[in-house]
């Protein structure tokens, strides 16, 4: 769960607590061990991040580790390429919720989007979103674009499709492709979504200064693995 962001975002108006609550701490490396996942979850509890984002196979252990800590458990759907069939993404989403996830970051079907099959892309997002929210009304659904693979026109189309499909967030990238979050992409996504929609920046955000730049460009949530370094730097500057 996030904290409200100040109306004007700057080093002066942010606090370490607010910064930590913008972060979804990523534990998604394919070679990550169970012990590393547990340690990462404990770090989230210590720093009080918004959530942890783990692989689907790690949702149960994350939910157990973070029980009653105030840190939400999230996972990824169709990750990292978005190529699994819709029914598989829906199954992944429902299984993740059963295992304890309350936030889902799903990768849209990039190939269908680039092929211009926009109604199919929207239908898939809607299928995952409606199934997830029917099972858990408070479930937060974020849709990953993989912006480095898309044109600006495709990003704008994706923003509109996500909003029509009922998703909660649009998200820049998986962190496992050819690029991460850019300020231009965040501004574009913010400009082409309504105030109801949120924007998540993910991929390559390793410093406090860049996190603040992303928030200023329109992001509400940040996907990062350098959580400790970022929040510790904020504490040091504030002191």
Q: Is 64 tagged catalytic?
A: no
Dihedral pair phi/psi, residue 188, rounded to 5°: -65, -45
CA dihedral 127, 132, 137, 142 (to 10 degrees): -80
String of DSSP letters for 160-215: HHHHHHT-SEEE---SSSS----HHHHHHHHHTS-TTSEEEEESS--SHHHHHHHH
Q: Is 135 tagged catalytic?
A: no
Which among 164, 171, 187, 238 is annotated as catalytic? 171
Task: Report the chain's terminal Cα–Cα distance, integer Å.
Answer: 25
Catalytically annotated residues = 171, 200
């Amino acid at each position: 769960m996030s904290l409200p962001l100040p109306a004007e975002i700057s080093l002066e108006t942010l606090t370490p607590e607010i910064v930590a609550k913008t972060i979804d701490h990523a534990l998604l490396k394919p070679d990550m061990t169970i012990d590393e996942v547990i340690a990462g979850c404990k770090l989230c509890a210590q720093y009080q991040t918004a959530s942890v984002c783990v692989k689907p196979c790690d949702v149960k252990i994350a939910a157990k580790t973070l029980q009653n800590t105030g840190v939400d458990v999230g996972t990824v759907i169709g990750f990292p390429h978005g190529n699994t069939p819709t029914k598989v993404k829906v199954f992944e989403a429902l299984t993740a919720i059963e295992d304890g996830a309350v936030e889902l970051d799903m990768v849209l079907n990039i190939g269908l989007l680039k092929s211009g099959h926009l109604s199919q892309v929207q239908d898939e997002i809607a299928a995952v979103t409606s199934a997830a929210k029917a099972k858990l009304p408070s479930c937060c659904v974020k849709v990953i674009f993989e912006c480095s693979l898309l044109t600006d026109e495709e990003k704008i189309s994706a923003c509109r499709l996500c909003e029509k499909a009922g998703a909660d967030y649009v998200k820049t990238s998986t962190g496992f492709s050819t690029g991460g979050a850019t300020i231009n992409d965040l501004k574009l996504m913010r400009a082409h979504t309504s105030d109801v929609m949120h924007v998540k920046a993910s991929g390559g955000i390793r410093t406090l200064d860049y996190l603040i730049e992303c928030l200023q460009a329109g992001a509400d949530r940040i996907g990062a693995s350098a959580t400790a370094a970022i929040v510790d730097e904020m504490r040091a500057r504030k002191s």
